[in-house]
Structure 1
Amino acid sequence: MGNFDMLIFVLLIVYSAYKSCEAGVITTSLGSINGNQIGSYQTFKKIPFAKPPIGKLRFQKPMAAEKWEGILNATEYGPACMSNSSTSKSPQKWIDEDCLHINIFTTDTCLSSKNCSVVFYVHGGELVYDSAVMFEDKYLFDTFSSRDVILVIPAFRLGLFSHFVVEDQNVAPNNLALYDILLALEFVKSEIHNFGGSSDRVTAFGHSYGGHVVSVMAFSTEINTDLSYFQRVICMSSVNVWDSLEFEIEKTMRFIQYANCSVPQDLKSRMTSFEQDSYMMECLQDIDSMELLRIQRSLEDEGHPIYSGLVLREPLIQNVLVQDFYEKPKNIPTLTGCTYKELDKFHAYHNIVETLGYENYKECDDKYRDDRKYGRFDLNKHADETFGILAQTKLKVDKQLDKGIPTYFYEYSYPKHPSHTDDLSYIMGVHAFEKDENEIHLAKSYQEMFMNFVKFGEPGGGFEMSTFENSSYFNFYWNETTGEKSSMKTNFEKEIIKYWLKDMFEYDQNITAAKQLKVAITRSAKFNVSEDQLPYLYISMLIIALIFLTGCLVGKICCVQPRDRHLYIQLDGLDHDCYTVKN
């Protein structure tokens, strides 16, 4: 082969390699997109689903993305949304306020069939850290693409950028990150067929706080009411935690003060509350995003509460008490569960009583702290947050089962890596560790069963629907030495669930009943007895007491029988005292 022929041969190889990494062009209603081709898999990243939330759009509801000209380059991840929390173990390398993009992983098979199942993954991080761009392609290919399941990972605003909270939502809406997520779901609903997916086969999937968000959308009476956004749910290791509106406003006011955006005193008296809130918001909108992030981190480092969480408030979330939020779950088949150790290694204080929605918060919290302190129940083996995840997950499962909703419930109990994010690594590849032979089997089981649920509505492999009667669940466990494998079990965390969902609820109800009785007696007394009548009431009570005592004295004097006399009834009906009854 001559030099020229060799050159042509090399160029053909290079060109073929280049073409193998170049996906075909996909056309959407917004414009054309070009992604990456890796074998039979295709990725499309950094697709804008909203206008950049900058300038006057900062702190406002997201607006749908505008159409673009030409072919959009979707071959690389875009920036993560703004975050720099010290509580994160996975800081992001590239952050920017212009971050509302969506990332889609599909396959040639799906692009041909146009009917593949879709997973819409909401990342965790308490709405203050982590991102939609923190995942390695190879793990996602292994879990999703290899089974022809389309994966969608949306971004949403974090920290202060989704937590400028004021009373008047005409100034800025509460729960801004949830609006971002809903707009991303709207994009999936209208565009996923272009990527080979079916909008009627979407599973909303979240872990930790991402699971909280997914759970909120499943239980909210205001979101996905026609089930057009998603039809199945997967929640891993999640617990619904709510912040009060007052608490969120307090955090906002603190930030405004640190940013020197408070309303001057000479203007405040002449401004309405709407005008004051607008003044402060517009001041923050004029500050560079990196400076806002610096202030946020400074406040966190000083020990102030982080800018995270959701508010139980309309219009996206029904305005009810926490204990009433779970009463109306939508008919959405669910796969949910937790690890048996969750957050035990941290043992941080957590407001578990408020999390579970007891009516008498202080009394129930005092009881729990005392029971833990004095060892009345084995409460020291788990952290507060672990109790919260275990108990609330079971509470939500029971509410769904009560409505006849197909619910698959699991617990991961393999002891080597039983913490909060360990089993997530089997699905998403984050927080990975070197697996032993048992964990290799468990990882495969997770992938197969989770994707079976996504595609067919049931996990298979012996993982059956939970039942309320015997509190059944699927125990993820594997031991090659003993031969023990994953299987269905009953009485999920029996003692823990009894303490939190039976004994504590009964205690809470008794406290409520006692308070109601006290109020009723007080009202009755106020209604029936005037201040002038009180002396007569006291005299009447004294007379009744004297009559009672007189009766007792008369009885003592007039009764001459022995004091220890007892009557026994014989079969013939005659009475005999204790001295005449034969042994």
Structure 2
Amino acid sequence: MRKINPYKLLKSQSKIEKEKGHIMQGILRGLPIMQKEEKYEIFLQNVTARDALYGTTEYEFGKMPDSNENPALAGAPLDFENPYEVAAHFNDLKRNNSDWFSSDTQEVFVSAAIYSAANTDAGGTTYLYETRQDVSYHISDMQFIIGIHKDDKLTLGQQVLDSVYSKFLVNFTKIGTPNDYWKPLNTSQMNYLVLEYDFSKSILPSMDTNYHEDIVDFWKINMTSYDREISKLKKFATKTPFYPGPVILEPTTELYFSIENTTNVFEGTTISTVLKEGTTFILTQWWFYVLVLLVILIILLGCYYCCRNRSEEQLPLIS
């Protein structure tokens, strides 16, 4: 596939999306891009180092969930073994946290952080940025990059950003550096350029650190820990199949969760699985019935000694 002209690939993709309605959703886990059943962790350790620009907008898809939202996508590069449970758990948390970004938005931020870091770790030079020029939603910056989705009237800040974007791209293409103050990504700092012009507030492009750290840590730490706990519970207490098969539960199986988050990034009470297999196991053991019989005998003997008539030797001389 790498030998095929990229324009032909894009044309084929557009045709498939238009005629058959199949939308591309991230990296396809299969040849020739990935080995069969290869984990993202292994795939990202073997990426080809290159000079690259990675960018997002401030709000992307916003906070309202999409009707076709799939929360598991936000953690796709994290190799969750239980994406269905992770997705359901995210939905539960989102209901109580309306100010959270939608999973689609979080997917963009998490992917940008993981893939840009992987390219840097591989030896590539990565420039990470975020556009915050009003209004900064998904593809709103395309008007500055390739001239599509153009606003009818640009503000002064947008006009300046429009000229700056083109200079960044030309400089990066010709000399490998967008400009002097935009520093390459350092994964220990996750530094990135914030693109925004607002002359009334003296706001100019500047470098910042810890790119969406709260959201990235939520998926890499909290949700990863949750996924591992679910795997442990399945391993020791149920025969429910692992991903990629569907989650099929027996009709008699009851699920309740209570796993506490181990970090302060996001707090929330989750679910713990309580199954009835332990009771079934005890009832099949012979020693269980022996114990029951001994308990019954002890109770009967106690009743006998308490209720029997006492002999004359046991009666007091003076009553």
User: CA offsets per residue over residues 311-361 of structure 1, 9 Å max, x none?
Assistant: 432234432356444342111122101001112287423213135222211
- The one-letter code sitting in structure 2 at the alignment partner of 1:359 is E
1:426 paired to 2:144:
yes
Q: Does the aligned pair in 2 maintain the 1:322–1:356 contact within 8 Å? A: no
Q: Does the aligned pair in 1 maintain the 2:71–2:90 contact within 8 Å? A: no
Rounded Cα–Cα distance in structure 1 between residues aligned with 2:55 and 2:220: 17
- The one-letter code sitting in structure 2 at the alignment partner of 1:426 is F
Match of 2:209 among 487, 490, 496: 490
Match of 1:156 among 1, 6, 11: 11
Rounded Cα–Cα distance in structure 2 between residues aligned with 1:316 and 1:404: 20
Q: Does the aligned pair in 1 maintain the 2:196–2:205 contact within 8 Å? A: yes
Between the two proteins, what is the percent identity of the paired residues?
Answer: 19
Call closer, same or farther: CA 1:345–1:372 in 2, change over 3 Å.
Answer: closer
Rounded Cα–Cα distance in structure 1 between residues aligned with 2:72 and 2:44: 16
Offset at residue 466 of structure 1 (A): 1.5
> What secondary structure is seen at the aligned counterpart in 1 of 2:201?
coil
1:438 paired to 2:157:
yes
Call closer, same or farther: CA 1:509–1:481 in 2, change over 3 Å.
Answer: same
Task: Indicate the residue corresponding to 2:166 in structure 1.
Answer: 447
1:338 paired to 2:56:
yes
Call closer, same or farther: CA 1:468–1:538 in 2, change over 3 Å.
Answer: farther
Offset at residue 367 of structure 1 (A): 1.1
> What secondary structure is seen at the aligned counterpart in 1 of 2:285?
helix
Rounded Cα–Cα distance in structure 2 between residues aligned with 1:399 and 1:513: 29
User: CA offsets per residue over residues 522-565 of structure 1, 9 Å max, x none?
Assistant: xxxxxxxxx9x95345469x59xx9xxxxxxxxxxxxxxxxxxx
Q: Does the aligned pair in 2 maintain the 1:449–1:461 contact within 8 Å? A: no
Rounded Cα–Cα distance in structure 2 between residues aligned with 1:466 and 1:457: 14
In the alignment, structure 2 segments of 5+ residues that lack a partner are 240-280, 296-319
Rounded Cα–Cα distance in structure 2 between residues aligned with 1:154 and 1:319: 21
Task: Indicate the residue corresponding to 1:314 in structure 2.
Answer: 31
In the alignment, structure 1 segments of 5+ residues that lack a partner are 1-60, 65-101, 103-119, 123-152, 164-291, 297-305, 521-530, 547-583
Rounded Cα–Cα distance in structure 1 between residues aligned with 2:288 and 2:178: 71
What is the number of residues matched between the two proteins?
242
1:373 paired to 2:124:
no
> What secondary structure is seen at the aligned counterpart in 1 of 2:90?
helix
Q: Does the aligned pair in 2 maintain the 1:398–1:468 contact within 8 Å? A: yes
Task: Indicate the residue corresponding to 2:261 in structure 1.
Answer: none
- The one-letter code sitting in structure 2 at the alignment partner of 1:509 is R
Match of 2:285 among 535, 538, 547: 535
Rounded Cα–Cα distance in structure 2 between residues aligned with 1:539 and 1:468: 62
Task: Indicate the residue corresponding to 1:359 in structure 2.
Answer: 81
Offset at residue 473 of structure 1 (A): 1.0
Task: Indicate the residue corresponding to 2:124 in structure 1.
Answer: 405
Call closer, same or farther: CA 1:488–1:537 in 2, change over 3 Å.
Answer: farther
- The one-letter code sitting in structure 2 at the alignment partner of 1:157 is S
1:67-82 superposed matches below 5 A: none
Offset at residue 463 of structure 1 (A): 0.8
- The one-letter code sitting in structure 2 at the alignment partner of 1:473 is Y
> What secondary structure is seen at the aligned counterpart in 1 of 2:12?
coil
Q: What is the TM-score normalised by the length of structure 1? A: 0.37
Rounded Cα–Cα distance in structure 1 between residues aligned with 2:223 and 2:113: 15
Match of 2:193 among 466, 469, 474: 474
CA RMSD for the aligned pairs?
3.4
Rounded Cα–Cα distance in structure 1 between residues aligned with 2:157 and 2:37: 45
Rounded Cα–Cα distance in structure 1 between residues aligned with 2:108 and 2:10: 25
Rounded Cα–Cα distance in structure 2 between residues aligned with 1:501 and 1:345: 20
Q: Does the aligned pair in 2 maintain the 1:395–1:501 contact within 8 Å? A: no
Q: What is the TM-score normalised by the length of structure 2? A: 0.65
- The one-letter code sitting in structure 1 at the alignment partner of 2:125 is P
Call closer, same or farther: CA 1:334–1:320 in 2, change over 3 Å.
Answer: farther
User: CA offsets per residue over residues 47-68 of structure 1, 9 Å max, x none?
Assistant: xxxxxxxxxxxxxx9x99xxxx
Rounded Cα–Cα distance in structure 2 between residues aligned with 1:401 and 1:359: 27
Q: Does the aligned pair in 1 maintain the 2:74–2:108 contact within 8 Å? A: no
Q: Does the aligned pair in 2 maintain the 1:442–1:478 contact within 8 Å? A: yes
Q: Which has the higher strand share?
A: 1
Rounded Cα–Cα distance in structure 2 between residues aligned with 1:330 and 1:466: 17
> What secondary structure is seen at the aligned counterpart in 2 of 1:157?
helix
1:110-121 superposed matches below 5 A: none
Call closer, same or farther: CA 1:517–1:399 in 2, change over 3 Å.
Answer: farther
